[in-house]
Structure 1
Amino acid sequence: MIWSYRIGKVFGSEVRVHVTFFLLLLWIGLSAYAAEGLQAATLNLLFVLALFVCVVLHEFGHALMARRFGIKTPDITLLPIGGLARLERMPEDPKQEILVALAGPFVNVVIWVILALLVGAEVGLLNIESLDQAGSDFLAQLAAVNLLLVVFNMIPAFPMDGGRVFRAVLTIWLGRERATGLAAGTGQVVAVLFALLGLLSGNLILMLVAFFIFAAATAENADVQIRSLAEDIQARDAMITSYESLSPDEGLRAMSFGLLRTTQHEFPVLDSAGRCVGFVTRDAIFRAAQAEVTITAGAAMTKNTPTVDLLAPLSTVLDALADGSSPAVSVADGDEVFLGYITRENIGELMVLRRAQIV
């Protein structure tokens, strides 16, 4: 995710913090300082940091459970609205998806139990009411907020945890595509309700959560539909075979002329053996031209681009493009000689034609 910074790596997953999280801390600290002074600002910041440690542990609950089913979690990003564990893919087995979805809230339940034992008293959601009261118990409040996180995350608003459980249960009877459509629609309705509630109450965080739910539900529903259409499609069926390429030592002039001669948005960079070593994007060429720098294709290209063979299923290509780090996936033969490439745009075009039953 852009504008996020790596702070460490745990259990094979990078832990990242988005820059907007620091803006949240700044806003909370300044607001508390203006209202009640330095001590209140310090306590508020410590509470928020402790809460987001619980959020990160929640996301590791998902990640570790997913790892049991052979699914990696490249990174976990801390955002002002919570945490985001980026799994390579969601399990298609409904039972596995339920376990992965429930693992996060289960971590918060465990934290709540531990904190309740430390406090030595019954801690429930009613403790939330005294959150802003001076002298309120730090650990009791933290326990109560963890319980609130469990309740909130289990709302059946896809793709929140409760929504994923809802989708998995529907999948058993309806199949994954129909179940996702119904769960996504329910999530979008809940998102609109959240947005209205946030607007009426002036709660910016709730409005941001609503936007995230709506956008994520729409995107995942589209992804499931594409994967359903792509079940019997191979890389050779989707790849671009008419293109202009660059060599690593070609300069800005050659890249610019290629941009003018073609409608390509990305140019494969091939070494002397015909292997793809990266892609130069149109944006990279524009940036170099505006900066008026001397640069070669090898220096301007996006490196470490994924490669698949001709017979790879299109789902493999979709997985490779999912994190957005590469503009395209190269297709090569057994000797790694470049044959063509696949972009998100031409997959979208293929799906339109597929729906129309033209190809």
Structure 2
Amino acid sequence: MQWSYPILRVGDTEIRIHLTFLLLLAWIGIAYFQEGGTSAAIEGVGFTAAVFACVVLHELGHAAAARRYGIRTPKIKLLPIGGVAELERLPEKPLEEVVVALAGPMVNVVIAALLIVVIGATAGIDALTSMDNPRVALVARVAAVNIWLVLFNLIPPFPMDGGRVLRALLATRYNRLRATEIAGIVGQFAAFAFGFIGLVVGNVLLIFVAIFVYLAATAETQAAGLEAAARAVNVRDVMISRFESLPAIATLDEAAQALLRTTQHEFPIVDRGGRLRGVLTREGLVAGLQQRGGEAPLVEAMAANIPVIRDHEKLIKALKPLKSGAVPAVGVVDAKGRLVGYVITENIGELMLLRSAAAS
């Protein structure tokens, strides 16, 4: 099941909304309706939508700053606890990461300033402490939300914006992996603190934030470790080199027979010169059999435009297309362009598993 759906595109960035966010809107609408009827429900959902519009602008701030350094942001995902800008890669230099990290909160500073100075909203104590109180003006509450977004995002738990600034500062003294590990530990400790406070005061949202921060800090640390390993390892040392390929003239029935007699879940498709034409996955084979029948050429069901790299290159060059999920494999070729192996996501997972075992 697909859990997020595109709702808008800004430049080359697709904004997607997670299904659970729609459930949040429904829950807010029902809760407000029970308290004050239809008008209250509309006001509650409208306020929530305004808050998340500010969150989208916050994430677009990150994307705009990243674009200055040649980094694309293919997706921004809206979740019940906030937004996530999925950059295609992280900034290489500490100063660049600081700029990208602070760009989001600066957008909220600008929004709050515009609402307070231009529109005349009053973000007083009532607005800052009672953002769910409908008796406080909507514009004042939105201004207060932006102030809180600035303060909350600048605390140092990684991978929040303040945590990314912390990692960038640490990277001026340590290598990138070590800086990420330290920032990740800070983030995990902060997550436990958030969770404890949330349990004590009965704040469910804070508990969800704690879970998100812990999982995100762990994932970012693992991703940094993976990139460091991929930069140090040659692809020939990780690639699948013993495999059965299929000729481009084969049929889906012949591919099905190969699936049964081997342990492979994907089959490189090569021409007579041994050059990669595409990859037929198990899922593609099943779909092809259902839609076209066994006599159909397998090239009609294969994934084409598979990227290839030379066998002497580092694994990091294969990591990017695999992480994006756009391709099922990356081919590895020799000097004459002939396929000598391929890399799939499982290879990289096994590499990290072995490295973790060797380090323990």
Q: Structures share a fold, TM > 0.5?
A: yes
Alignment pair present for 1:324 and 2:348 = no
What is the rounded CA distance, in whole Å, between the counterparts of 2:234 and 2:125 in structure 1? 52
* Partner residue, 1:281: 281
Q: Secondary structure at the match of 2:134?
A: coil
Is 216-225 or 341-350 further displaced after alignment?
Answer: 341-350
Instruction: State the shift of 1:85 in Å.
Output: 0.9
Instruction: State the shift of 1:111 in Å.
Output: 0.6
Alignment pair present for 1:348 and 2:349 = yes
* Partner residue, 2:246: 246
Deviations 1:182-208 (A, max 9, x none): 111111111222233334444443333
What is the rounded CA distance, in whole Å, between the counterparts of 2:45 and 2:88 in structure 1? 33
Structure 2 unaligned segments of length 5 or more: list them: none
What is the rounded CA distance, in whole Å, between the counterparts of 2:337 and 2:243 in structure 1? 18
TM (normalized to structure 1)? 0.88
Q: Secondary structure at the match of 2:246?
A: coil
Deviations 1:63-113 (A, max 9, x none): 111111111111112222211111111112111111111111111111110
What is the rounded CA distance, in whole Å, between the counterparts of 1:292 and 1:302 in structure 2? 16
What is the rounded CA distance, in whole Å, between the counterparts of 1:125 and 1:336 in structure 2? 68
Instruction: State the shift of 1:162 in Å.
Output: 0.8
CA gap 1:306/1:125 in 2 versus in 1, 3 angstroms: farther
* Partner residue, 1:315: 316
TM (normalized to structure 2)? 0.87
* Partner residue, 1:85: 85
Alignment-mate amino acid for residue 343 of structure 1: I
Q: Secondary structure at the match of 2:324?
A: coil
What is the rounded CA distance, in whole Å, between the counterparts of 1:180 and 1:113 in structure 2? 33
* Partner residue, 1:211: 211
What is the rounded CA distance, in whole Å, between the counterparts of 2:240 and 2:212 in structure 1? 33
CA contact (8 A) 1:125 1:147 kept: no
CA gap 1:124/1:177 in 2 versus in 1, 3 angstroms: farther
CA gap 1:285/1:209 in 2 versus in 1, 3 angstroms: farther
What is the rounded CA distance, in whole Å, between the counterparts of 1:123 and 1:241 in structure 2? 63
CA gap 1:47/1:272 in 2 versus in 1, 3 angstroms: farther
Alignment-mate amino acid for residue 222 of structure 2: A
Q: Secondary structure at the match of 1:166?
A: helix
Instruction: State the shift of 1:173 in Å.
Output: 1.3
What is the rounded CA distance, in whole Å, between the counterparts of 1:200 and 1:255 in structure 2? 58
Deviations 1:310-337 (A, max 9, x none): 3433222222222233332122356754
Structure 1 unaligned segments of length 5 or more: list them: none
* Partner residue, 2:105: 105
Is 137-146 or 28-37 further displaced after alignment?
Answer: 28-37
CA gap 1:314/1:150 in 2 versus in 1, 3 angstroms: same
Q: Secondary structure at the match of 1:268?
A: strand
Q: Secondary structure at the match of 1:135?
A: coil
CA gap 1:318/1:45 in 2 versus in 1, 3 angstroms: same
CA gap 1:137/1:335 in 2 versus in 1, 3 angstroms: farther
Alignment pair present for 1:294 and 2:293 = yes
Instruction: State the shift of 1:350 in Å.
Output: 3.6
CA gap 1:191/1:249 in 2 versus in 1, 3 angstroms: farther
What is the rounded CA distance, in whole Å, between the counterparts of 2:348 and 2:238 in structure 1? 7
Give the paired residue count: 357
* Partner residue, 1:270: 270
Instruction: State the shift of 1:36 in Å.
Output: 1.3
* Partner residue, 1:30: 30
Give the 5 Å matches for 1:125-164. Answer: 126-164=126-164
Alignment-mate amino acid for residue 105 of structure 1: P
What is the rounded CA distance, in whole Å, between the counterparts of 1:185 and 1:256 in structure 2? 47
Is 280-289 or 92-101 further displaced after alignment?
Answer: 280-289
Alignment-mate amino acid for residue 332 of structure 2: V
